[in-house]
Amino acid sequence: MRLHTRRPLLSFAAAAALLLLAPAAGATIIDVTSNSDDTTTGNCTLREAVKAATTRTKVDQCPAGTSSNVIELPSGTVEVDGNFTTLKVTGNLTINGMGYGRTTLFFARPSRGLEIGDDTTHAAANVVLQYLTYTGSDLFVDSEVVVATMNYVEITGQSVGVFVETGATLNISNSQVINVSAFSPITNDGSISVWASTFQGNHGQYAGVFENYGALSIGGSTIANNTSDGVATIFPLAGASAIYNANGAMLAVTSSTIAYNNTSNIQSICTTSNCGAITTAAAQGGLLAGETFIGTSVVAKNTVTGLTSNTDCAGVVTSWGYNLLGTSALSGCPKTATDLTPQDPKLTTSGSPTFAPVWSGGVGAVYVPQATSPLVNAIPASSSICMNPDPDQRGMGRGKGSGCEPGAVERGSAIFVVDNPAALNAGDTTTLAMMRALGFSVAVVDDDVVSAATASGIQLVAISESVTSTKIANKLRSVSSDVFLMEPSLYDDMSLTGPTENTHYGHLDNQIAVRLRNSSLFQTLGMIGSGTATLITTNSAQTFGWGTPAATATIFALTNEAVTTHAAFFSYPHGTALFDGSTVSGNRVGFYAFPGAAANLTGGGIASGRGAMMEALIYTVRP
């Protein structure tokens, strides 16, 4: 038995403060120019770049590192050869890819591929991995002087485990761990904080995702469709399909969804003589607890082969309230006065995840409550929880409607204002489908009847370019809802721009691309790496709208022309001054997609027209 001292959990605010999401000022940039781990001269491999950063000397074509370094990886697969030693990374170092799925970091070693820290010298390390896929071999975070951060990282593959050793710290945000098969995909003896991430389709012999002996905080995240075996021959009285929390360990779960996980082989470890009280220490479907605290979360629809009880929780679990814990009264979970009665949470139909783009606040699959879900508005809008500035896993603000939902994502309420609800054009049909895919309950409203009262209690108001602007005019200027506007002729009525057509707002024909301007946003989306770029957004030439907003607005994309003032995608966040100097109530976003453009968006992932529009919709409802 391993003995562990208890340690305080990091708050999510403290964990977020640790995330180094941008290179430090004055950091040395080291560009990797070779995707191979070779010994030839005339290039800069990843191994050589790490050595240059660590030793602060020039290595081959890699410049000498300094006290703070950033390694920039190319697109494609960057391989670390299994014939060489484990790659050890220490010091203050950030390793950036071009986006998960675009840059893959592949370790060919059978075990211990990347070591953050050094298990021999115990050298201090503060290392950030960003915008890449990691696969091929285990990742270790070593010793008490090591802090590792993974942001917009995908971990995937057979026998690819993550190990956090005693005293070490790992922060995971906006990331996904998918289709990993290991003894336990993530084993923690130190401290792990997770925010806005997805753990899906993993398999462990012992735990489906987390095997925790230290401090583990999980917020705004989804853990679903993972499996474990139960490992009868090795650990005959323990195992969990999602999280195993050992005696002496501490686990805090808030605003997260843990569902559709399964543990099998239960019959081999649960005999007639030990299926009673000892079952709380046997293989379970959802959580197996040492000291576990859960708030504003969903733990339900987990299963254990051969059992009908303790399928969701087992051991000592403390509710912080406003949860849905357990599918039935036999699920083994506690219930407080504010918790929902154990029942089916009615997540996305048949338990299938919504693979909605969630770049604002996380990546991966999420499970949106259905319109008839008991989760919808289960937390009163007056509750401090609904006023929490933290967004849901996709980046959507909570509590902007009549209440908010337990779990990782909000349902969201919206109206979509169009010319004729009975005969939607192709572009409006596409936009409506996007809104519903993102988890909004959408009412389509005719521009003849829309008013400020129509938007009362609604989180998102989307306005199509198909509307007649004179019918709407300034009716929606002062609504507290967030507004997504695709009709440039309303920009002046909404005080997003000045009043003169072709000077303050207008449109361009025969367009297929926009220029991404705000690198801090689009870099995190994996769209453009560390610079700016032109994004092809439509499959054929279409009409794009534009506006010239006030200096208080944030411009994310420009039209693809010489003019530098024509914004294709821009925003006024809540509380900022509009063009006329008045203060906006709710967020306002102007977006370029005329119906023809919306109907012909490029697809294929984040860096696409569809990706940009989905991002713009979610960005509109940020806190």
pLDDT tens, residue by residue, 155-192: 999 889 999 999 999 999 989 999 999 989 999 999 99
What is the arithmetic mean of pLDDT over 198-208?
89
Mean pLDDT within 449-471: 95
Strand partners, 340: 324
More confident: 277 or 43: 43
Q: Angle between the 609-620 and 426-437 helix axes, to the nearest 10 degrees? A: 60
- What single-letter DSSP state applies at residue 455? G
Q: Which position has the higher pLDDT, 262 or 278?
A: 262
Tens digits of residue pLDDT in 552-603: 999 989 999 888 899 999 999 999 999 999 999 899 999 999 999 999 988 7
Going from the C-alpha of 438 to that of each of 125, 294, 359, 398, 612, the distances in angstroms are: 38, 26, 12, 14, 13
Residue 424 CA, chain-centre distance (Å), reads 32
- For the chain, the first-to-last Cα distance in angstroms comes to 45
Segment 1-20 shows an average pLDDT of: 34
SS3 category, 129: strand
User: What tokens were used for 236?
Assistant: 């005959």
Q: Tell me: pLDDT of 517 over 70.
A: yes
pLDDT for residue 8 is more than 70: no
Q: How far apart are CA 517 and CA 495, in angstroms?
A: 22
Q: Are the C-beta atoms of 252 and 298 separated by less than 8 Å?
A: no
The length of the chain in residues reads 623
| Interval 90-127: pLDDT, tens | 999 999 998 777 899 999 876 788 999 987 888 889 99
pLDDT band at 371 (very low <50, low <70, confident <90, very high): confident
Q: Which residue has the higher pLDDT, 412 or 33?
A: 33
Mean pLDDT of the chain, nearest integer: 83
Residue type, 102: R
Distance CA 398, CA 275 (A): 42
Strands (E) in 298-359, as ranges, are 298-300, 303-304, 313-321, 324-325
Domain boundaries of the chain, sorted by first residue? 13-138, 183-409, 413-620
Say yes or no to pLDDT of 12 above 70: no
Q: How many CB atoms lie within 10 A of CB 382?
A: 10
**CB neighbour class for 523 (10 Å; exposed up to 12, middle 13-18, buried from 19):** buried
**Longest alpha-carbon distance in the chain:** 82
Contacts 24+ apart (CB under 8 A), 63-66: 63/28, 63/30, 64/28, 65/28, 65/30, 65/91, 66/26, 66/27, 66/28
User: What tokens were used for 388?
Assistant: 């929490």
Tokens coding 227? 């499996």
Kindly compute the dihedral angle of the four CA atoms of residues 101, 105, 108, 110, in this order, to the nearest 10 degrees.
-90
* Cβ neighbours of residue 550 closer than 8 Å, sequence gap 6 or more: 497, 577, 578, 579
pLDDT of 280 over the 60 cut: no
Torsion angle (degrees, nearest 10) of CA 155, 159, 162, 163: -170
Per-residue pLDDT for 9 more than 50? Answer: no
What mean pLDDT is predicted for residues 10-17? 37
Q: Regarding the domain with residue range 413-620, which homologous superfamily does it belong to in the CATH classification?
A: Class I glutamine amidotransferase (GATase) domain (3.40.50.880)
Q: CB–CB of 49/71 below 8 Å?
A: yes
Residue 317 is predicted with a pLDDT of: 82
What is the structure's pLDDT at 2? 30
Q: Which two tokens stand for residue 436?
A: 């519903």
523-551: average pLDDT = 77
What SS3 class is residue 193? Answer: strand
